[in-house]
Amino acid sequence: MKIGCVVPSEPSVSDYPVKGFEFLKARVSREPGHRLRLAVRTFACKSCPPVALWRASLVLLFLGCLSIQGIRAQDDKAKADEQKIKKAFYTSKDRLAAMHSAALFVPKAVAETDIMEGPEQNKHQFQLHYNDKVICDFTTPGSKMGGKTPKFECKITSVVSTDGKVQTLTPDMDEEPVKVKFGGEDNEVFAEVVATRLMWALGYYADSWFPVQVECHNCPENPVSGAGSPATRTYIPSNIVRKFSWHKMTESGKDEEGWSWKELDSANGRPTYERDGLKLLAAFIQHSDNKPPQQRLACHKVVIDDKTNPPTVTCDKSVMVVQDVGATFGGGGLFTSNSSAKMNLKVWSDKKLWSSVGTDGVPKQCQASLSKSLTATDGLKDPKISEEGRRFDAGLMCQLSDKQVEDLFKVARVAQMPQYHNKDGSFKPGVDEASVVKQWVDAFKQKREDLAKGRCEWKEKPADLVAVDNPMGLATVPNYCSAKPY
């Protein structure tokens, strides 16, 4: 090919020296690799006139400089794509291997957990506490985030605690936009705080929800749809979530895969008492919307072997997290309605923990009561529970003191639920915060007594019951139940 003659289907550089160069330059900015390749072919032309070769050398010089930026951009994108690939499984075998080794529970001294304070937080992020005023800049409307609960995303700029202490954004902070759920009209705002604090206190993995007030700057009139003029708006009550920090893992192309409760039994390798304990806890809180996307598999460090085809992906450590427990502390049901499936005292307290249970000296094959939602394919419904699972959960639950149980409902701000208030925001006659909290505490403790006094048939009775009765290895295991859990 002669650059001084005619490049097929392209303008000739020698015939149109200025336009030809501009044409090549424009093509470089669009396709840097292709134009650099053309310039190299230009120098390979031995029969070109000297002027054409001189011009070609100039073209090559400019092409080389202009190509660097484009090639670097392509390299950056390739690296990003490669990183994405490392965070997914390419075979079901690798996914099942991670599920088999996944932890469900971490032992802790339950009676020492601070329910009001909540889980330990990342030191490189804003530290969130009960009723903090969180000031943030609006970023994303809730309609782009999925789900039906009112929500939006914003970037935190400062936090003011109830005692006036101020946290401000610093260069060393690792802060991304956070999800904010807001408004007392959806009972999920209250339920998810109670449920996640309880799971965390007992030792089961869960995301961390923090009950705060949010002052959103540049927030549209409707932060869910994004419609309306921007202004500074305040949302009380509201919650901010800090996701369990490990990488969410699914098979490639199945971003909403999660894990099913059937897989908990068929794939997970943890002892029966932990698996049955998690299922029994789901029934205790009436976690009815338990379809696979409501749970997730997470890995601490993802290791990829790209020498195999497809790549082999493994986790150094993995956990199975129940990630969405907003439809809890109600009565479950097919449609997870806001009025009955989410934070409804009467419905939850009337719902029996067991559909079948034995007593001390007369154990039975136990079955917990749980109505799953219509959309919960492969979901959990009326699970059968072994004695080791009942005994494990009862031992943990009975370590919660009266104050801790009270704090569960205080931190969730249950007294702010609309049914306890008149239209002007005042409490209805005979109702105050203390009485509302007490009703929930009494209902919780009664259900806990039903858990403690039941007796079930063993499935795999451990030779050493210490792991079941005292997983933390405490010198003395406290018992705040009236009944003995074992």
Q: Tell me the pairing of strands 133-141 and 208-219.
A: parallel
pLDDT value of position 37: 40
Query: What value, to the nearest 5°, has the Cα angle with vertex 285 and ends 246 and 459?
Result: 85
pLDDT value of position 435: 97
Helix axes 387-397, 188-202, angle to 10 degrees: 100
Last residue of a domain, one of 210, 242, 274: 242
Q: How confident is the model at residue 69 (pLDDT cuts 50, 70, 90)?
A: low
Q: Note whether 154 and 233 are same-domain residues.
A: yes
The CA dihedral of 391, 107, 132, 441, to the nearest 10 degrees, is 10
Tell me what the pLDDT averaged over the chain comes to.
86
- Stretch 357-376: mean pLDDT: 91
Residue 280 has pLDDT above 90, yes or no: yes
Under DSSP, the state recorded for 58 is H
Tell me whether residue 189 is in a domain. Answer: yes
Q: What is the value of pTM for the model shown?
A: 0.82
Tell me whether residue 12 is in a domain. Answer: no
Nearest to 128 by CA among 212, 227, 229, 48: 212
Q: Note whether 142 and 236 are same-domain residues.
A: yes
pLDDT value of position 340: 82
Which has the minimum average pLDDT: 79-93, 282-296, 304-318, 372-386? 79-93
Which has the minimum average pLDDT: 79-93, 272-286, 315-329, 427-441? 79-93
> What does 59-106 look like in DSSP terms, one character per residue?
HHHHHHHHHHHHHHHHHHHHHHHHHHHHTSBSSHHHHHHHHHH-B-B-
Residue 20 has pLDDT above 70, yes or no: no
Q: How confident is the model at residue 7 (pLDDT cuts 50, 70, 90)?
A: very low
Q: Tokens 């989410």, residue?
A: 342
Q: Tokens 């909540």, residue?
A: 118
Residue 408 has pLDDT above 80, yes or no: yes
219: containing domain: 133-242
pLDDT value of position 332: 76
Q: How confident is the model at residue 24 (pLDDT cuts 50, 70, 90)?
A: very low
What's the residue count for the chain? 486
- Residue 423 has φ and ψ, to the nearest 5°, of -65, -30
- Stretch 340-355: mean pLDDT: 94
Is-contact 131 212, C-beta < 8 A?
yes
In one-letter notation, the amino acid at residue 387 is E
Tell me whether residue 57 is in a domain. Answer: yes
Taking residue 474's Cβ as centre, other Cβ atoms within 10 Å add up to: 14
Is-contact 371 468, C-beta < 8 A?
no
Residue 39 has pLDDT above 80, yes or no: no
Last residue of a domain, one of 218, 242, 266: 242
Tell me whether residue 275 is in a domain. Answer: no
Residue 375 has pLDDT above 90, yes or no: no
- Stretch 414-428: mean pLDDT: 94
In one-letter notation, the amino acid at residue 138 is F
Tell me whether residue 70 is in a domain. Answer: yes
Tens digits of residue pLDDT in 135-152 = 999 999 999 998 889 999
pLDDT value of position 409: 98
> With pLDDT > 70 as the criterion, what percentage of the chain qualifies?
81
Burial status of residue 48 (CB atoms within 10 A of its CB: 0-12, 13-18, 19 or more): buried
Residue 44 has pLDDT above 50, yes or no: no
Q: How many domains does the chain have?
A: 2
Q: How confident is the model at residue 96 (pLDDT cuts 50, 70, 90)?
A: very high
Residue 75 has pLDDT above 80, yes or no: no
Q: Note whether 161 and 69 are same-domain residues.
A: no
Tell me whether residue 391 is in a domain. Answer: no
Q: Note whether 201 and 140 are same-domain residues.
A: yes
Tell me whether residue 30 is in a domain. Answer: yes
Report the side by side order of strands in the sheet with 295-299.
247-249, 295-299, 318-322
Which has the minimum average pLDDT: 5-9, 51-55, 369-373? 5-9
pLDDT value of position 43: 40
Tell me whether residue 158 is in a domain. Answer: yes
Taking residue 302's Cβ as centre, other Cβ atoms within 10 Å add up to: 20
Last residue of a domain, one of 80, 97, 120: 80
pLDDT value of position 255: 87
How far is it, in rounded angstroms, from Cα 220 to Cα 233? 8
Most confident of 53-62, 93-102, 255-264: 93-102
